[in-house]
Amino acid sequence: RLIVNVGWVFVVLFDRGCMNYMFPASYAWGNFSVLAVGIWAIVQRDSLDAIMMFLTGLLLTVLTDIIHISVFYPPNNYLTDEKRFSVGMAIFSLLLKPVSCYLVYRMYQERGGE
């Protein structure tokens, strides 16, 4: 249940981060792909491959989110309230991803992973 709740928080924060079109499409595609693998990992409770792919995807999106936020952060004279909110949600989503990684790793251990 906790993984499902963390997943919904991830979806809401990621959606708010994509609300403004200042990040490229690769930001959205990468995070939506990980979300799809996460749904697969939750549905197939006996699959170690699904949960391992989800954990790997989360770790990769942490790296790519850092790159996207640092490269595409707008200058101060182009920073509107809407862009500031979108960047804030993207950063908040990035800060919660290590918690998600920890919970997914615990789920991996519960399923018999080493």
- The domain limits of the chain are 1-43, 46-113
What pLDDT is stored for residue 17 in this prediction? 55
0.85 surpassed by pTM: no
For every residue of the chain, DSSP letters joined together read: -HHHHHHHHHHHHHHHHTSSTTS-HHHHHHHHHHHHHHHHHHH-TT-HHHHHHHHHHHHHHHHHHHHHHHHHPPPGGG--HHHHHHHHHHHHHHHHHHHHHHHHHHHHHHTT--
What digits encode the pLDDT tens for the residues 35-92?
889 888 888 888 899 999 999 999 999 999 999 989 988 787 878 887 887 788 888 8
